[in-house]
Structure 1
Amino acid sequence: MRRPTSTNDDGVQYRDLNGNGVMDPYEDPRLDSASRAKDLLERLSIEEKVGLLFNTVMVVGEPGDHDTASPFGPETPRDFVVGQSINHFNIGRFPSAEHMARWQNCMQELAELAPHGIPITFATDPRHGFAQNDGMVFATGSFSQWPEPMGLAAIGDPALVSEFAETARSEYVAVGLRAAIHPQIDLASDPRWARQLQSFSSNSAVTSEYGSLLIEGLQGQKLSSTSVACTAKHFPGGGAQEDGEDPHFPQGKAQVYPGGNFEEHLAPFRAAIAAGTSAIMPYYSLAKDLLIDGVAVEEVGFAYNKYLISTLLREDLGFTGVVLTDWQLVTDLEVFGLPFPAKAWGVEHLSRIERVEKLFDAGADQFGGESCTDLVLELLASGRLSQKRVDASALKVLQVKFELGLFDNPYVDENAVATIVGSESFRAAGHRAQAEAVTVLKNTGVLPLRADTRVYVEGVNPEVVDDRVTLVDDKKDADVALVRLTVPYEPRNEYFLDAMTHQGSLDFPDEEVARVRALAAELPVILDVYLERAGILTPFDELAEAVTVNFGASDAALLDALTGTIPPRGRLPIELPRSMAAVEASHPDVPNDTKDPLYRYGAGLSLPSTSRRESRMLT
């Protein structure tokens, strides 16, 4: 039951969150956020303070069902919110935007049952593109669909990045998502790294500019009731992975800097801090053999590293916001029958309580993906952790909630969701960006396609072709073949999320190359490749008459680009290596470092002019 708004003797409306019939300072909407946060902090029990320091995963269930346990553990929403005073949650998949809005409103009603009615902050990983990995990024669902961030960088239009940020902000706020666990501002310096598509570029200047624009678009000039608070990640830069492996898994725990290029990876974080990012997330990795100003950096996960967090981030870079750890640094899990070890790299030997203690000592404010409030309370009771230290982090976290206006109104308008989320104008803008981000690398004259061009397709839904070209079922009747591929990976399933995290060799399988070769022997081939990672396109380069790449584009958007209906204007935001041997010989920390790349950073062609004007977006 939603608590009604009260009015004090001066006629000021407020939410009586603690139910005492008085407008306490923290409930007074006229006061500044810092004053309100300080007042509330002094009223909280130690359990409430500790609950603020956790941001864990919450499964979206049925609206109003607060007593069904999560698939990831025995806790129910009521256990978390009322029992443990946890009120920050990272949200995964949900059935629809309308469902999410109803569910979040019910969850905010649950939060009012806690002693001081602290509202919930719901957070999200990126969810406006095509990639799907339940621990890192979500496909668009109800929202408008755009190219991944690397596609925005390929277009090279800062105004478009700002337009996307405003769109994402509007759609997030409409359903109650008030914190973004992005932008990801790592440099895509190792071509094998699984997460490069959600970064912007291998270029630090581009990544710095576009990351800052995204922060400014989501947050505004300052946090407010219409803002989404950002968490820039993964400090101090996540691209320089040893062998390109991902640090969610033990084999990917190390970052290496054989090119001595640590400072370039740091540059986007300097820009994010200047742009006012609300929070920063350290990465899982540990740095091997890293010296900074003559100091040997301890080989422990970045969130455990006191020099990197307290000295470099806080003192040297001047960051005063929230340091939110990446997910599950303390507790080993088993999910859906697969192990998922804690990312306690370099401190595997420590107990869970010792890991929590070291994270606090390093400078972390909030623990991602954990709910071990009992360990923090035990540290406090033993004197190994001071209440002053807990208060310092809790105050930062509270102030963000106040700045977002959640204490005054955490509810969303369920009736307005359908007119905002996935609106026709947002979808049209996303569709256009998908097409514009298509990058033409080779064209012998077969592009743009004409309406009378007879096209045989593989990997394309024939239903979207309509009259933009002439579709034929038999390649013998075709003028050209259009083939869509995705950069390959080595299938793995040893750990939870392993199968969805595409890693390993960038070489296409021999049978796939042979299939395209056989097709090219019969008719000209137009090859389009979804660049999840920087694939080795060398075997196809001589076979195809045209080569394009995309960073998330529907079949309809690709056809708009190939016909010139929406002229493609993409330029590579990364380089495409010539061979895996060149990748293995390059420096993982140095962007665009492979020998004699097949296509260099910035490569891209414009299509000859066309009179086509009508876009056929698939709805």
Structure 2
Amino acid sequence: MGTRADAVIEVDGLKFRDLNGNGTLEPYEDWRLSPAERAADLVSRMTLEEKAGMMIIGSHYPGYSAFLPEPDENTLLNPRDVWRENNPITGQPYPRPVLVTSATDKALNERFQHFFIVRDNPPARDLAHWTNAVQEAAEKTRLGVPAVFASNPRNHVALVAQFGVNESAGVFSEWPGELGLAALRDPELVEEFGRRIAREWRAAGIHKIYGYMADLPTEPRWSRFSGTFGEDVDMVSRYVEAVVRGMQGESLGAGSVATTVKHFPGGGVRTDGHDPHFSWGQSNEYPTDGALEKYHLPPFEAAVRAGVSSIMPYYARPVNTSARQLPAELQGADGQFEEVAFAYNAPVIKGLLRGRLGFDGYVNSDSGVIDAMPWGVEDLSEPERFAAAVRAGTDIFSDMADPTQLIAAVKEGHLDESALDASVTRLAAEMVELGLFENPYVDEDVAGREVGGTEVAKLGARTQRRSVTLLRSDKFLLPLDLESSPMVYVKVTGRVDPGKVEQRLAKAVGEVWPHARVTDKVEDADLAIVWARPEIRLFEDDQEGFELSLDPRAAGVDVEQIQQIERVLPTVLAVEMSNPWLLREIEPGARALVATFGVTPENLLRSLAGEDGGPAGVLPMVLPASEKAVQDAPRDAPGCELDNGYVYHDRDGVAYTLGYGRRL
């Protein structure tokens, strides 16, 4: 039991936290009762405003955060509200300023918010110190309801961070990206990964992950391909089940991290790769009969089997130009789909997710579905949008700091207050199950030791090395001989900060290969190590009217420079496979070719030298033969289900298909 208010009640020789400070043991304070009983009692004591505040989860920052417009390094709790006048996605002005993040005191005591998204990435002890401070402030609120802290994934290598995806990488243990885990085809490893990182997260005071993605990326140009577990629906399903069990355990408890699996009912069905963060990517159109059930729902069924705590629908809206997908009982009178975003879509949430899949957790919207991406309900007012989403089955609204319009939905008569009760009960029950009503605090010294600790860091590094995937190797070049003393030419070319990554790769050569020397002159070198890092950046490259491409040129890679190096030097070419890139121009000239999926330069070199057996990965997706093959493929079926003409064959005639990979 943990308290900083010294508010403890003793009943029958047992101790309980007196959360509302009235000296009486209330049912929601009684740890002998079930989570459902405690949650129901809490909800019965809440005002409309407190219920609405519980149903929003927004980004929240320490007072010293660089994300704030006026950070103060000497301030722990944020003292100021922050407002935004323009939509961050479209740049268009809002009808009125929108609250981005609350001052901590106002969040807890005026807006009654208790769910927060953590974006900052300070040292673990500092993070724990801040989460404890927020919990102490929460303990002083009227009902003493604790705070729940959520985050995007924090445990994957991100040499260049991207806000909203991997902005918090680098402090916690570093593992390969999701595709790198998929390359190892080892669900037991993924379950162990989940267990290990859950200990880190809870040590720092974080309780909930926005992850993992259960999307099958059937459109290979999708910018979020790298966040998936690949194209094999059976393996993706096993991985999703494994990571949920790893992070949550058999059931939620004081050591669990609650998972929010996303993006229901599958976000990978993208028209020409365009994402529904944007109006031009809002439609989910299924050209293949039964694709939803065959390819996209199974990973979510696996999540439900594992007891996933919450599920996030995507921004997209289904359209009735699709082939047959829904069973007759879920189809509407005007077409099989209700053409509104999934957060507003009752047949999908209540009919498909809860009715057919049997999901009994809570539904967590994606960020900004009310004020930024309200696809299909643009003509509704914000109170009407809240009402429509709640009626459809959405329980909590992401990246929102202001419940005013949800309160207005009730006061204007669009929604009965009782409609909020089921949602708030689900949310409160999760808090109880996570043990936060008994002790929301963490030991800051333990956080400093546990997060990124030696044992878990070693396991993450080993997994990085094994995830490297060998596609081709001529004799005598690999494995690298770390006892030799060659002159090595190093080049990194790619979309974002290639110079920064190149410096780190050159430094790694000096550290890992002690007798080698790095030269910046091709003519002086004995071999080259080239790392191509193409990338489709969601908020920069996905533009209206712009054709997304898997040509490395279009994604920032200097193809001619690679070809020039390959002509004069034996070249080890590594390609960061954030998407299934077209290799026809850069593969043939390389002496050795590997795919990487999130690995540090140091671990890349160690893998190429054969440490831990060298590269052990296989392709978690098909590499396509050409741009035309991609354009002609159905957007709702994975590459591994297409005919052989879709697959790239290398200079030796080897097909780079799902599951292909070699050993040293």
Do both proteins adopt the same fold according to a TM-score greater than 0.5, normalized to the shorter chain? Answer: yes
Distance 2:82 2:121 in 1: 14
Distance 2:236 2:76 in 1: 41
2:310 equivalent among 270, 279, 291? 279
**Cross-structure match for 1:68:** 80
TM-score (norm 1): 0.92
Shift of 1:35: 1.5
**Cross-structure match for 1:336:** none
Distance 1:443 1:176 in 2: 46
Q: What does 1:605-616 correspond to in 2, within 5 Å?
A: 605-607=662-664
Task: Check conservation: 2:152, 2:168, Cα contact below 8 A.
Answer: no
**Cross-structure match for 1:579:** 626
Shift of 1:533: 1.4
**Cross-structure match for 1:267:** 298
Moved over 6 A (4+): none
Q: What does 1:536-615 correspond to in 2, within 5 Å?
A: 536-566=582-612, 567-592=614-639, 593=642, 595-598=645-648, 599-607=656-664
Shift of 1:74: 6.6
1:21 equivalent among 15, 18, 23? 23
Q: Deviations over 1:388-423 (max 9, x none)?
A: 211111111110000001011000101111110011
Task: Check conservation: 2:62, 2:77, Cα contact below 8 A.
Answer: no
Distance 1:182 1:75 in 2: 24
Task: Check conservation: 1:58, 1:70, Cα contact below 8 A.
Answer: no
- After superposition, the CA RMSD in angstroms is 2.0
Pick closer, same or farther for the CA change 1:60–1:198 going to 2, 3 Å: farther
Distance 1:503 1:143 in 2: 36
2:327 equivalent among 285, 293, 300? 293
Pick closer, same or farther for the CA change 1:392–1:490 going to 2, 3 Å: closer
AA in 1 matched with 2:269: A
Q: What does 1:117-128 correspond to in 2, within 5 Å?
A: 117-128=144-155
Please identify, of 174-183 and 509-518, the stretch whose mean Cα deviation from structure 2 is larger: 509-518
Task: Check conservation: 1:490, 1:504, Cα contact below 8 A.
Answer: no
Q: What does 1:111-122 correspond to in 2, within 5 Å?
A: 111-122=138-149
Q: Deviations over 1:207-262 (max 9, x none)?
A: 11011110001101111111111111000001111111111112211122112311
Task: Check conservation: 1:129, 1:138, Cα contact below 8 A.
Answer: no
Q: What does 1:305-324 correspond to in 2, within 5 Å?
A: 305-324=345-364
**Cross-structure match for 1:428:** 458
Distance 1:139 1:376 in 2: 30
2:478 equivalent among 436, 444, 447? 447
2:563 equivalent among 517, 525, 528? 517
Q: What does 1:159-178 correspond to in 2, within 5 Å?
A: 159-178=188-207
Distance 1:394 1:514 in 2: 57
* SS of aligned partner of 2:129: helix
Task: Check conservation: 1:5, 1:13, Cα contact below 8 A.
Answer: no
Please identify, of 197-206 and 66-75, the stretch whose mean Cα deviation from structure 2 is larger: 66-75
Shift of 1:363: 1.0
Task: Check conservation: 2:60, 2:102, Cα contact below 8 A.
Answer: no
Q: Does 1:209 align with 2:238?
A: yes
Task: Check conservation: 2:304, 2:359, Cα contact below 8 A.
Answer: yes
**Cross-structure match for 1:363:** 393
Q: Deviations over 1:418-470 (max 9, x none)?
A: 11001111111111111100001111222111122623221342222235362
Distance 2:537 2:57 in 1: 32
Task: Check conservation: 1:88, 1:122, Cα contact below 8 A.
Answer: yes
**Cross-structure match for 1:611:** none
**Cross-structure match for 2:14:** 12
* SS of aligned partner of 1:538: coil
Q: Does 1:463 align with 2:507?
A: yes
Pick closer, same or farther for the CA change 1:315–1:604 going to 2, 3 Å: same
Task: Check conservation: 1:231, 1:279, Cα contact below 8 A.
Answer: yes
**Cross-structure match for 1:151:** 180
Shift of 1:69: 2.8
Q: Does 1:199 align with 2:223?
A: no
AA in 1 matched with 2:595: V
Please identify, of 230-239 and 108-117, the stretch whose mean Cα deviation from structure 2 is larger: 108-117
**Cross-structure match for 1:130:** 157
Distance 1:589 1:137 in 2: 26
Distance 2:259 2:646 in 1: 38
Q: Does 1:417 align with 2:413?
A: no
AA in 2 matched with 1:95: P
AA in 2 matched with 1:209: R
Distance 2:560 2:411 in 1: 66
* SS of aligned partner of 2:366: strand
Distance 1:208 1:378 in 2: 40
Shift of 1:38: 1.5
Distance 2:463 2:632 in 1: 35
Q: Which runs of 5 or more residues in structure 1 are unaligned?
A: 332-341, 608-619
Shift of 1:351: 1.6
Please identify, of 237-246 and 68-77, the stretch whose mean Cα deviation from structure 2 is larger: 68-77
* SS of aligned partner of 1:123: strand
Q: Deviations over 1:24-60 (max 9, x none)?
A: 2211222221121122111112211221111111123
Distance 2:11 2:385 in 1: 50
Task: Check conservation: 2:350, 2:393, Cα contact below 8 A.
Answer: yes
AA in 1 matched with 2:491: E
Shift of 1:528: 0.3
Please identify, of 379-388 and 395-404, the stretch whose mean Cα deviation from structure 2 is larger: 379-388
**Cross-structure match for 1:337:** none
* SS of aligned partner of 2:136: helix
Task: Check conservation: 1:479, 1:524, Cα contact below 8 A.
Answer: yes
Shift of 1:319: 0.9
Distance 1:322 1:492 in 2: 29
Distance 1:467 1:218 in 2: 34
AA in 2 matched with 1:596: Y
Please identify, of 291-300 and 228-237, the stretch whose mean Cα deviation from structure 2 is larger: 291-300
**Cross-structure match for 2:412:** 382
**Cross-structure match for 1:534:** 580
* SS of aligned partner of 1:35: helix
Task: Check conservation: 1:82, 1:113, Cα contact below 8 A.
Answer: no
Distance 1:488 1:161 in 2: 25
**Cross-structure match for 2:381:** 351
Pick closer, same or farther for the CA change 1:139–1:373 going to 2, 3 Å: closer
Task: Check conservation: 1:190, 1:589, Cα contact below 8 A.
Answer: yes
Task: Check conservation: 1:208, 1:268, Cα contact below 8 A.
Answer: yes
**Cross-structure match for 1:224:** 253
**Cross-structure match for 1:303:** 343
Distance 2:242 2:360 in 1: 20
Q: Which runs of 5 or more residues in structure 2 are unaligned?
A: 65-74, 85-99, 493-501, 649-655
2:366 equivalent among 323, 326, 331? 326
* SS of aligned partner of 1:57: strand
Distance 2:436 2:101 in 1: 28
AA in 2 matched with 1:173: R
Distance 1:377 1:583 in 2: 47
Task: Check conservation: 1:241, 1:254, Cα contact below 8 A.
Answer: yes
* SS of aligned partner of 2:127: helix
Task: Check conservation: 2:512, 2:605, Cα contact below 8 A.
Answer: no
Pick closer, same or farther for the CA change 1:305–1:2 going to 2, 3 Å: same
Distance 1:5 1:417 in 2: 25
Distance 1:137 1:350 in 2: 33
Pick closer, same or farther for the CA change 1:395–1:69 going to 2, 3 Å: same
Identity %: 36
Distance 1:181 1:161 in 2: 17
AA in 2 matched with 1:315: G
Distance 2:565 2:25 in 1: 75
Task: Check conservation: 1:488, 1:535, Cα contact below 8 A.
Answer: no
